[in-house]
Amino acid sequence: MDTEKRCFKDFKRMVVKVGSSSVAHPTGKPNLFQIENLVRQLADLHNQGKEVILVTSGAVGTGTGKLGLAARPRTIPEKQAAAAVGQGVLMHIYEKFFGEYGVTVGQVLLTRQDFSDRRRFLNARNALHALFQFGVIPVINENDTIAVDEIKFGDNDSLSALVAGLVDAELLILLSDIDGLYTADPRKDPGARLIQDVKEITPEIESLAGGTGSKLGTGGMATKLQAARMAMHSGVVTVIARAGEKDVIRQIIAGEQVGTIFWPSANKLENKKRWIAYSSAVCGKVFVDEGAARALLKQGKSLLPSGVTGVEGNFDMGNTVSIIGPDGREIARGLTYYSSVEIERIKGAQTRDIARILGYKDYDEIVHRNNLVLSL
């Protein structure tokens, strides 16, 4: 991708994520001016024949305002209640504004399990493609009403990146209350400079991320960088920009100097490996020695029993496991051919001894390289 060519007019499919602070006032009441401005830009893209998905935050924040609460709820049940109220308010507003431009919208509520379960992942993909065929703009949010800690995304930045990969989008736009990625916090350092292009998310880039943005939201620059990383390895161009910027989406599409652009990585992951890396649920850990780590990282090999030193967790064949190197850090993730109980029995053994130890041998490898993704 030529980083000098910022114009995205030829892109067909895009995901636009808007944060809580962009759809609600600090009181929690809906920011109708901002929402109408967003809707007008998306409706115009739709009229050009673009396929657009809107990922919206704000259900909990809007529900907080509707219920007259002084602050965002802290407990999961209270957040769920606020989301149940706020999501209805949000969709009513979106339907009204989009309807004024003759555009039909459809609500899609997702949880982490809709991505980690391969069948549900494909069902969600098919449903979104069907909405495109009907000329509908999907309005997506996390299903906060039923989500609990184990299945929460925690922020809609990650959700939007997963959705972009799910539908093979070309462009992901993350809109919030900040202009993009800065060299320092612009609210504290007057010398902070906006970074216009990022080709790789290095530790130095990660160190620029601060905390959460507003009292109504859960995400911050750190979650946006994680979302950008996911999108980059999915072949998706990502732009972080300020929602309040005049005609910000039109400016981005036209290639004007606005926001921070994250360009796709050269090593785009194929669909299956992308799912393993970012969507599947990690069910356990497999610890490996120095030789196995080197074979995986440097030689593109599969993981064999001889290099395994330990197992953690209770998992079955076909589950995703985290592969941990001798220094305690994750070096890869993959789909295991053997259960945790079986791996515990054959760890450190030669492949030829698997049948003798277990009484059978279905595979030589614990994780085949075709089902393995190195940590990104």
Confirm or deny that 180 is annotated as ligand binding.
no
Confirm or deny that 71 is annotated as ligand binding.
no
Confirm or deny that 144 is annotated as ligand binding.
yes
Residue 37: strand, helix, or coil: helix
List Cα–Cα distances, 15 to 145, 149, 214, in angstroms.
23, 25, 22
Residue 2: strand, helix, or coil: coil
Buried/exposed 249-260: b ≥16 CB within 10 Å, e otherwise = bebbbeeeebbb
Confirm or deny that 224 is annotated as ligand binding.
yes
Q: What are phi and psi of 94, to 5 degrees?
A: -65, -45
Confirm or deny that 218 is annotated as ligand binding.
yes
- First-to-final CA distance of the chain: 20
Q: Token digits for 117?
A: 């379960």
Confirm or deny that 99 is annotated as ligand binding.
no
> From the CA atom positions of the chain, what is the Rg in Å?
22
Confirm or deny that 220 is annotated as ligand binding.
yes
Confirm or deny that 176 is annotated as ligand binding.
yes
Residue 272: strand, helix, or coil: helix
Residue 31: strand, helix, or coil: coil
| CA–CA dist 237, 53 (Å, integer) | 15
Confirm or deny that 177 is annotated as ligand binding.
yes
Confirm or deny that 56 is annotated as ligand binding.
no
Confirm or deny that 47 is annotated as ligand binding.
no
Confirm or deny that 156 is annotated as ligand binding.
yes
Q: Token digits for 308?
A: 């395994």
| CA–CA dist 75, 88 (Å, integer) | 20
Q: Can you say which residues are annotated as belonging to the binding site for substrate?
A: 57, 144, 156
Q: Can you say which residues are annotated as belonging to the binding site for ATP?
A: 17, 176-177, 218-224
Q: Can you say which residues are annotated as belonging to the binding site?
A: 17, 57, 144, 156, 176-177, 218-224
